[in-house]
Amino acid sequence: MLREHSVPRVYMPGKFGSAVELPLLLLPVMLIALGPVLRLLAEAFGFGTGLTLDHAAAELTRPSTLTALQHSLITAGAGTLISIVIGASFAFVVALTDIRAKSALVFCLMIPMMIPPQITALAWMQVTGPSSVLLKTLRLAPPLGSPQSLHSAWGIAVLLGIQHAAIVFLTLRAGLHMIPGDLVEAARISGAHGARVWAQIVLPLSLPSLAAGAAMTFVTALGNFGIPAMLAFPRAIPPCRR
């Protein structure tokens, strides 16, 4: 017979413990993440030399600042849409089908995230330029001296979409794995198959994960400096990043 004192007890913190422990755990994260941002805001408002809005107002009203903001939002937004198309397509195929070599497919999709953005931009400029061995082999290489087509806003958006598609893929794939299998099975028993199950069951339940992946992708694309720096400056495109 099992004695009462031999049963291990699990410590369950009360409301007071949770209320105290959570801020203590979040405090280092807040200091690391928000510290540099708060420092920049303090400098913008003249911290140490007298608080004023003149510095921030002068910088925010400059035409170059507004142009940079506009280009940043456009390229990051377009890149996010491209990432959604690529990442979501791969996520649905990998999670919902029985295709072979899933591990190899996932690895290939993760490769762009492992490569620095500057290297990604250089590689794509080489493979799409007049000296591209691939395009020469296919007899599709542009003439020597022709402008590089990637040196444009759409070129920046395309590479941003390719670079960050894995974020959407990983987030959506995790959400798809959390969908209860009973719902899909019940829909199939009721007579729904294929596209109807995906449209009425899988897609609505995966929208929160898709939205979270899109939000993270947009923020990441907005902070990407390497690709805009490599593709925008050669054509004197107004800077997309500071």
Q: In Å, how far are 108, 170, 199, 232 from 220, measured between CA atoms?
A: 20, 14, 29, 18
Residues 6+ apart with CB under 8 A from 83: 160, 161, 162, 164, 165, 167, 168, 214, 217, 221
| 25 to 32, 36, 63, 221: CA distances (angstroms) | 12, 19, 42, 28
- pLDDT tens for residues 131-155? 888 888 888 888 877 788 888 889 9
pLDDT number for residue 210: 95
Confidence check: pLDDT of 43 > 80: no
Neighbouring CB atoms inside 10 A of 213's CB total 29
Listed by start position, the domains of the chain span 71-235
8 Å CB contact between 118 and 156: no
Of the listed ranges 136-140, 178-182, 216-220, 230-234, the one predicted with least confidence: 230-234
Closest to 159 in 3D by CA, of 236, 96, 227, 207: 227
- Angle at which helices 102-114 and 165-177 cross, to 10°: 140
What are the structure tokens assigned to 235, written together? 């054509």
Q: Which two tokens stand for residue 136?
A: 């020469």
**Chain Cα centroid distance, residue 152:** 21
Mean pLDDT of the residues in the chain: 82
Q: Is CATH 1.10.3720.10 correct for 71-235? A: yes
